[in-house]
Amino acid sequence: MSVRPSDLDPKIADRLKRDPNGLVPAIAQQYDTGEVLMLGWMDDEALHRTLTTGRCTYWSRSRQEYWVKGESSGHQQWVKSVALDCDADAILVKVDQVGAACHTGDRTCWDADVLDAVVGERPEPAL
């Protein structure tokens, strides 16, 4: 596993379950509406920077470098809270998104390709 040097608190780092590249998926969600915005990847240092700067920092798998969301586009993500899931193999970052979250210019990365699916209905509770 590839883990780059980081100042992340060892108590957090020891809990993370990373992929073979040392990365953990990070979901960005609009803090006040619950809208799911995007999925990015964080390593220990990206998580450390996110926790300590108030801005979302991700690891770019294509460019092999850190990037702060909105640094060049102006479409920033301001951190409101950060949580690990129960297995510590995913990160949820609740943010205040400025502008588009998707690199295509869309508000979210989930608008463009909605798939047809059978909609399930929860059964009525038994009396």
Question: Is 43 among the annotated ligand-binding positions?
Answer: no
Question: Is 87 among the annotated ligand-binding positions?
Answer: yes
Question: Is 86 among the annotated ligand-binding positions?
Answer: yes
Q: From CA 86, how far away is CA 118, in angstroms rounded?
A: 29
Per-position b or e across 46-63, b if 16+ CB within 10 A of its CB: bbbbbbeeebbbbbeeee
Question: Is 109 among the annotated ligand-binding positions?
Answer: yes
| 86 Cβ contact partners less than 8 Å away, ≥ 6 residues apart | none
Among residues 29, 26, 87, 93, the alpha carbon closest in space to that of 60 is found at 26
Q: From CA 114, how far away is CA 118, in angstroms rounded?
A: 13
Question: Is 56 among the annotated ligand-binding positions?
Answer: no
Q: What share of the chain is helix, strand, coil (3-state, %, to 5)?
A: 10, 30, 60
Binding residues: 85-87, 89, 102, 109
Residues in the annotated binding site for Mg(2+): 85, 87, 89
- Which residues sit in the known binding site for Zn(2+)? 86, 102, 109
